[in-house]
Amino acid sequence: MAPTPRRTQVGIIGAGPAGLFLAHLLHRQGIESVIIESRGRAEIEGTIRAGVLEQWTVDLMNGMGLGARMMREAHFHSGITLRFNGESHHIDMEELTGGKRVTVYAQHEVIRDLVAARLEDGGKIRFGVRDVRLLDLDGDTPLIAYRTAEGEEVLLRCDYVAGCDGFHGPSRQAIPASARTEYQKIYPFGWLGILTEAPPSHPELIYARHDRGFALLSTRSPEIQRLYIQCDPQDDIANWSDDRIWAELHTRLETRDGWRLTEGPVFQKGIIAMRSFVCDPMQHGRLFLAGDAAHIVPPTGAKGLNLAVADVLVLSRALAAFYREGRRDLLAGYSATCLRRIWKAERFSWYMTTMLHRNEQETPFEQRIRLADLDYVVHSRAAATALAENYVGLPIE
């Protein structure tokens, strides 16, 4: 005998930033939702990922009462440093954008805050589910079928489904292939990232272009720093000893004026590939995609989490208009509204990535163009302003 369907207004698949932010936004509008997540709570809170939050994202968290720990523990950066040809150039984003800045606060810390607040509010998160299927997406009450960690079969009837389950989740695949277009670029390089126990070497992020490849210096806390170097995405991390990593970081980051990088014990390292991806449209029937289920950006532009939050902010407003006024126009326009911002973020992330990375497939002419682009950015107020306003976050429409 089939189980009796349970009921909610919005079924959310995925307890990453998109799903959790959406649940909180809906809760504040009096809209009920249930989150289902394939991983356990400890896993989603323990997966260490960097995070750079745009100004409006920080303002949103504070406005929702979710930013107290962030404001105590995060790092607030008024600018970034671009480094090339052995010289450093400060981009004062706060001055160029009328007071906006970015906040360095790791994504898993954001998730911890959102999960704790969701559960404190009495919200529903079902961890460890499996065999998720989406049914009747073209009907008035779509169905999410799944099994609990204990093996119980559950049917969840919804008015709408939000697919916030990442690139490999079932939501995007539930849209017929003939009904979606996927755009993708695979970059011929990856990032080797490390976490190290060391004091900060610099007060802000450093983005460096070097003949040996890109490097990035960031921070996690006063005691822990995060650094990256460009590498072959197919390389084996076993080929990279700590000594080899530090040698590359020193070479790529140090300058003619004697600035030195501070070393420390490495306690985590790994290699990630880089790509850009967009699914169009981001909706089908009563299913709406958000976050990595719909789009991926290379990390160079620091846009991933912020784009996910922008998606669900648009979606929450559209759902609120439906439940309050019976309006469907904002839901119908969800994909088009989100994609305007997404493609601008994709452009900026591609721009930062191609400008700063050494690509062996490029001609010497193209490599010189990249250096000319950097030189233009650091010597033109107009160019620096364009970079700064994209980096701190374009206005929310």
Catalytic residues, by residue number, are 77, 207, 299, 303, 391
Radius of gyration of the chain, Cα coordinates, nearest whole angstrom: 22
324 token code pair:
């309050």
Q: Which candidate, 238, 246, 150, places its Cα nearest to that of 198?
A: 246
Q: What is the C-alpha to C-alpha distance for residues 176 and 163, in angstroms, rounded to an integer?
A: 15
d(CA 288, CA 281): 9
Structure-block tokens of residue 14: 């995925």
Nearest to 75 by CA among 213, 229, 217: 217
Bridge partner list, 80: 91
* CB atoms inside a 10 Å sphere around CB 178: 6
Neighbouring C-beta atoms of residue 220, cutoff 10 Å: 19
Q: How far apart are CA 214 and CA 167, in angstroms?
A: 26
* Secondary structure (DSSP) of 336-373: HHHHHHHHHHHHHHHHHHHHHS--TTS-HHHHHHHHHH
Pairing of strands 206-208, 215-219: antiparallel
Torsion, CA 254, CA 259, CA 260, CA 262, rounded to 10 = -120
Going by C-alpha positions, the residue among 22, 20, 14 that lies closest to residue 317 is 22
Length of the chain as a residue count: 397
Quick one: how far is CA 300 from the chain centroid? 11
Amino acid at 122: G
DSSP helix/strand/coil, 170? helix
